[in-house]
Amino acid sequence: MIVALAQLNFVVGDFEFNTRRIVQSIEDARRQGADLVVFSELSVCGYPPADLLNMDGFVQTCLKQVDHIAAVCQGVAAVVGAPSFNDGPKGKKLFNSAFLLSDGKVQFRYDKGLLPTYDVFDEYRYFEPAEVFHTVPFMDKRIALTVCEDLWDIGPRPMYRFHPMDQLAKESPDLIINISASPFSWNRCGERLSTFAENARRYNLPVFLVNQMGAHSELIFDGGSAAFNAAGELAGRFEPFEEGLRLYDLNALGGAAGSGQVPADDPAVVTNQTAAGPGQEEKNALLLDALCFGLKDYFRKTGLKKAILGLSGGLDSALTLVLAEMALGKENVWAVLMPGPFSSDHSISDALSLAGNLGVRHDILPIDPVVTSLEDSLQAFFGDLPRDIAEENIQARARAVLLMGLSNKFGHMLLNTSNKSEAAVGYGTLYGDMCGGLSVIGDLYKTEVYSLARYINREKEIIPRNTMEKPPSAELSPGQKDSDSLPEYGHMDPVLFCYIEREMHPDEIVAAGHDAKLVNKVVRLVNASEFKRKQAAPVLRVSQKGFGVGRRMPIVAKYC
């Protein structure tokens, strides 16, 4: 049996586009001699469809497309993912299903049994979990057909009370196929490989994984589809963030890695990656690829063409501009420098140097007249009260008003330039520097921003050295530095990582070796800023716990 894996970039709800891509891949696979071609989870409608699943018309249209795809499966079979209706007397009205199509019709349907509700997932909101599982007869083989989580729940403490694969194993399958929609995070690519390798070893069966590729709102899917032999050795995998079609000979996957049609990756490299995670340079390469891909795909799928951002001379806006230029092209990016009452000369010169290095359009639009006008309007109320954060926020909001005016007039989407450290502790102005339609680096801590900037500058200076070396500052008051209000980022970010990514209690963070006073201050700032994050732009998610749908915290609470 020749199995083809199709790693494609689908669009949620674009049935015509998705079906066309699926049909084209089926025809390509048939010409190349494939017997079976496999697509990702919910491939027909795109993942995640969210509350679109509540519309019966959406599901009915999806199932019509499944029948259309089945009609072209002559001389070759296909596995596609789509929702299906639950005809039983109880439970939710839908299943998350995988369909085996051949000889012009649907031959078999497998319904997903394990429905994740953690992090960004909320599948039990829509789907009924299956309880009975059977293998699929195809050619002279039996296929253990599974959907994403049905193979993920493996390890010392399983999340679920049963394993669908254990039931399937009782029917003596010859291979495992898994269709997935596993989102990208910089430290999870290796975990995915190790999880599916462990399944191959546990059941002594070849495993074929097809994972979704593409950016869907804030979620980024890298693909990383792969094949493993029965010993759990990697027989081949797709490059992240790239579409493709690859064929494997099932009969050749029972022995050593590399015995399939595709040259093998070095198992030692895979082992090292899964054991220790990526090194710093590899992490930065992954982050760079993911953020550029996520930004580019967001614009492509929304029909947007051009971006605008405020370029301050600081590192966050500098990195955002570089990413935008790489993703969208210099002709589609507009940088606006908006010096204010306390902007330094070097901030302006640094911003001009960067814009020149990238060749993007850039203009200078001072905010002093706007700030003066707003302060004059408020003078009757502010009186002789000392200047404080109120006046600082006026400057940030003046910039946002001007940027949004340009955005509205010329149709450029405003990119937000805030980082994760700032978003975590509320170091940003609502309706000011938190403005924007998409937060590009909002899932990078400040220390990660520095690291990625150094990686971008590894061969030549793109981001000016002075931007990298000067103390971070919002420049909203004389001589202001971030460290006047916040702990140093090098001390604060590890605490944030423990509290946000690892979800540790403050006492646990202190027990891990962090200063108690620092921990208490950071946690207090994070909790007090939840209301700001609820109003923030969507963030491109590249970590295991980003702000957005994957982190749901109450605005009003007294726990930590």
In 103-140, DSSP assigns E strands to: 105-111, 136-138
CA distance 420 to 422: 5
Residue of 45, 62, 73, 148 marked catalytic? 148
Question: In this structure, are residues 444 and 315 in contact, taking their beta carbons and an 8 Å threshold?
Answer: no
Distance of CA 243 to the CA centre of its chain: 17
**Catalytic residue flag (residue 534):** no
Find the distance separating the first CA and the last CA of the chain, reported in whole Å. 57
112 catalytic per annotation: yes
DSSP of 66-89, one letter per residue? Answer: HHHHHHT-SSSEEEEEEEEE--SS
Helix (H) or strand (E) holding 42: none
In angstroms, what CA-CA distances link 458 with 349, 451, 467, 506?
22, 10, 15, 37
Nearest to 79, CA basis, from 45, 48, 37, 28: 37
Query: Is 148 annotated as catalytic?
Result: yes
Catalytic position from the list 41, 218, 391, 448: 41
- Alpha-carbon gap, residue 405 to 409, rounded angstroms: 6
Of residues 62, 112, 233, 283, which has the active-site annotation? 112
Contacts of 97 (CB under 8 A, 6+ apart): 81, 82, 83, 84, 109, 110, 111, 112, 147
What six digits make up the tokens of 440?
A: 């590009």
The residues annotated with a catalytic role in the active site are 41, 112, 148
